């Protein structure tokens, strides 16, 4: 399959008038220039559209701007962006972050090495992030050009901190991000755990993105979703997949983490209005864990309630 560009850089944005120019400027500074920028404006109520329109004539790269008339949430916007993407590799950059000047070059060099060594089961490249002050975020990978999957990275080696990535567009399209028949929002990790069940990544100990948090303009996804409270069916769907579809790898590397996922399966299923009978019936793998999970989930809710008093 032939592609028009090496990269599609995708940015979902909402009320971004004060921050989107910073990301745009970082794209202008890229040392690797074979890319397009897709911006999906998720029903902003400020002057985001006017700002983007002033940036388009200044750009040295093509920009596709899409304005949603109805708010779609992040995961649906990723699916929309993938429909329009003409890059071989796809990387998402939040509207309040920015790329380091060498970011796309780092991805490209690592990906060229993958192709040269003919590693067919690798879906993409994962790099590290830094904070706004330049300090390293989280922990480094155990080695450079490390071929593994997200299960090993997260649950066996317990790598911490925000990471950034570029993946093959054709592989990303194989796995849905959004499930509108379930809920408006599904955690994106549902997609990545599904993809990483079948494919590995190349983890490179170089930095590519500046992860900016704590600003007044920062839009925190957790605050929008209220940690699942606003979209309980979506979170229940995610945790159901974790315990039933992805259980073998998580159980292999971190049994404690798997048990915590089980407890969240119970909690969010209850938030979504499911009966205990339905919850027990829906727990297919490691079925005996559902009973202590129900007990601990209830204790957790009581503790939360107590804190509110």
For residue range 213-248, list pLDDT tens digits in order.
Answer: 877 554 555 555 555 578 999 999 999 999 999 999
Under 8 Å between Cβ of 108 and 6: yes
pTM here is 0.92
Contacts 24+ apart (CB under 8 A), 80-85: 80/40, 81/8, 81/10, 81/12, 81/38, 81/40, 82/169, 82/172, 82/173, 82/177, 84/38, 85/8, 85/10, 85/36, 85/38, 85/169
Share of the chain above pLDDT 70, in %: 92
Mean of per-residue pLDDT scores for the chain: 92
pLDDT at 299: 80
DSSP three-state, residue 240: helix
Superfamily for the 5-222 domain: Spore Coat Polysaccharide Biosynthesis Protein SpsA; Chain A (3.90.550.10)
Report the 10 Å Cβ neighbour count for 138: 13
- pLDDT band at residue 262 under the 50/70/90 scheme: very high
Q: pLDDT tens digits for 266-296?
A: 999 999 999 999 999 999 999 999 999 999 8
Q: pLDDT tens digits for 45-65?
A: 999 999 999 999 999 999 999
Q: Alpha-carbon distance 248 to 108, whole Å?
A: 32
Q: Alpha-carbon distance 200 to 86, whole Å?
A: 23
Beta strand 63-67 with 35-41 is parallel
DSSP state of 287: G
pLDDT at 152: 96
Q: pLDDT tens digits for 5-38?
A: 999 999 999 999 999 999 999 999 999 999 999 9
**All CATH 3.90.550.10 domain ranges in the chain, comma separated:** 5-222
């Amino acid at each position: 399959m032939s592609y028009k560009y090496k990269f599609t850089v995708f940015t979902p944005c909402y009320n971004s008038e004060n921050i989107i120019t910073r990301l745009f400027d970082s794209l202008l500074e890229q040392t690797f220039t074979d890319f397009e920028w897709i911006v999906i404006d998720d029903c902003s109520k400020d002057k985001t559209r006017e700002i983007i329109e002033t940036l388009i004539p200044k750009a040295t790269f093509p920009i596709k701007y899409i304005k949603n008339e109805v708010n779609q949430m992040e995961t649906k916007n990723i699916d929309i962006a993938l429909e329009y993407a003409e890059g071989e590799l796809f990387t998402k950059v939040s509207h309040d972050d920015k790329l380091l000047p060498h970011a796309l070059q780092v991805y490209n060099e690592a990906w060229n090495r993958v192709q040269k060594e003919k590693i067919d089961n690798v879906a993409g490249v994962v790099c590290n992030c830094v904070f706004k002050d330049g300090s390293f975020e989280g922990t480094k990978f155990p080695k450079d050009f490390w071929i593994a999957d997200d299960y090993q990275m997260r649950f066996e080696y317990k790598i911490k901190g925000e990471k950034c990535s570029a993946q093959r567009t054709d592989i990303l399209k194989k796995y849905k991000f959004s499930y509108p028949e379930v809920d408006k929002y599904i955690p994106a990790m549902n997609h990545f755990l599904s993809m990483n069940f079948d494919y590995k990544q190349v983890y490179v100990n170089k930095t590519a993105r500046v992860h900016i948090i704590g600003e007044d303009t920062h839009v925190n996804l957790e605050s929008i979703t209220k940690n699942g409270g606003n979209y309980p069916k979506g979170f229940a769907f995610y945790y159901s997949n974790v315990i039933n579809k992805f259980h073998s790898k998580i159980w292999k590397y971190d049994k404690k983490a798997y048990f915590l996922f089980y407890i969240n399966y119970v909690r969010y299923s209850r938030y979504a209005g499911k009966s205990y009978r339905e919850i027990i019936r829906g727990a297919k793998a490691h079925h005996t864990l559902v009973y202590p999970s129900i007990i601990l989930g209830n204790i957790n809710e009581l503790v939360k309630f107590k804190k509110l008093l």
